[in-house]
Structure 1
């Protein structure tokens, strides 16, 4: 049986980071970890599902691992959904973005920036879910954290694309530099200097990495993982 383990470093971070920052901003509980195992299993299930969407002839290859992942996800998430049914309502906001991801996969246009943005927004709702599990409520700070997460990963996508698919595209590079600058400036203007500092660290990475050099995907992935760790630690300390 083929397991279809997701290999994208960015997607792993987009899944783990929002859940962690929502959790760290509240009281960490065993329910958080129990539910996260289920979320992780469903994320794994997306790999065989999208493989089937792209190549329907691989149905028999994709179904076994899809079934196992969905079963594990169900075992770990359904008890939590029974205890905290409000999570189901929050999850409904994720569905339209997930459907768009499937449509882009079917059209074989998964590399489009808009597809990445849909995935970022969808997974950023994990901030809200994780925060709700820990606090039993949704507050203004929940959406602030969610927005910060969206901005962080949007900047990351801009940066990674300047090094790979959009390498040499001066207009895209300019947009990336401007967006990174915006992430710093907006939090300075909002009177949140520590958040601005976190984004400045991320922006310096994007601005100073030579764009003429060809990087291996694993090199870019490791740098982004390190950047994500700095982000989570910083947000955890601040909030």
Structure 2
């Protein structure tokens, strides 16, 4: 049986980081682990689902793994949804973004910048869900963390594309540099120096990482993972 396990390292980071941030800035508990296993199962379900959308002929191949993933997802999320039913309302907010991702997959336009942004926004709602599990509410702090997470991964997409698909595109490169620089300045102006420092690390990486060199995907992935870890530690611990 084909399990259709998602392999994009960027998507893994976009799934894990917002959830951990919401947990760290609220109150971590074993409920977070249970719900995250369910979220992970649903994420795995996106593998066979997207495979079917791209190639409808794979219908018989994707059904077994899709059913297993969805069943596991329901098994681990439903108990938490019973305890925190308002999480369902946050889930409804994610659906339109998820449908947009499916639409781009159907058009085979998944590499578009807008599709990446849609996915970032959708997965950033995990900040609110994780935060809600921790403290039982969604407040200004959780919304701020969500926005910070969106900006962080948008900057990451800018940078990664300058090294791969937009390599040699001077206009895109300067757009990336400008975005990174503005975010750091913006957070300093908003009197959020901790956030500014977290983004400063990414800015230095984007500005000074040699662009002429051809990087292997694994090299880029490891660098982005390291940057994500630094980001989580700074925001989750010091904000």
Above 0.5 in TM-score?
yes
Could you tell me how far apart the structure 1 residues matched to 2:230 and 2:62 are? 36
Q: Does residue 144 in structure 1 map to residue 144 in structure 2?
A: yes
Deviation at 1:183, TM superposition (A): 1.1
Q: Does residue 6 in structure 1 map to residue 25 in structure 2?
A: no
Deviation at 1:60, TM superposition (A): 1.1
Q: How many residues align?
A: 239
Could you tell me how far apart the structure 1 residues matched to 2:237 and 2:74 are? 33
2:182 corresponds to: 182
1:18 corresponds to: 18
Could you tell me how far apart the structure 1 residues matched to 2:185 and 2:197 are? 10
Could you tell me how far apart the structure 2 residues matched to 1:100 and 1:236 are? 30
TM-score w.r.t. length of structure 2: 0.99
Could you tell me how far apart the structure 2 residues matched to 1:194 and 1:114 are? 28
TM-score w.r.t. length of structure 1: 0.99
Q: Does residue 106 in structure 1 map to residue 106 in structure 2?
A: yes
Could you tell me how far apart the structure 2 residues matched to 1:169 and 1:30 are? 46
Could you tell me how far apart the structure 2 residues matched to 1:121 and 1:236 are? 19
Deviation at 1:180, TM superposition (A): 0.3
Alignment of 1:212-227 (within 5 A): 212-227=212-227
**Moved segments of 4+, more than 6 Å:** none
Could you tell me how far apart the structure 2 residues matched to 1:84 and 1:104 are? 32
Alignment of 1:136-175 (within 5 A): 136-175=136-175
1:208 corresponds to: 208
Could you tell me how far apart the structure 1 residues matched to 2:168 and 2:61 are? 38
Could you tell me how far apart the structure 2 residues matched to 1:236 and 1:79 are? 26
Q: Does residue 124 in structure 1 map to residue 121 in structure 2?
A: no
Could you tell me how far apart the structure 2 residues matched to 1:94 and 1:204 are? 32
Deviation at 1:236, TM superposition (A): 1.5
1:231 corresponds to: 231
Q: Is the 8 A contact 2:22 2:130 kept in 1?
A: yes
Deviation at 1:194, TM superposition (A): 1.4
2:86 corresponds to: 86
SS at match of 2:4: coil
CA RMSD of aligned residues (A): 0.6
Q: 5+ unaligned residues in a row in structure 1: which ranges?
A: none
Deviation at 1:11, TM superposition (A): 0.2
Alignment of 1:21-40 (within 5 A): 21-40=21-40
Q: 5+ unaligned residues in a row in structure 2: which ranges?
A: none
Deviation at 1:151, TM superposition (A): 0.4
SS at match of 1:7: coil
Could you tell me how far apart the structure 2 residues matched to 1:93 and 1:175 are? 30
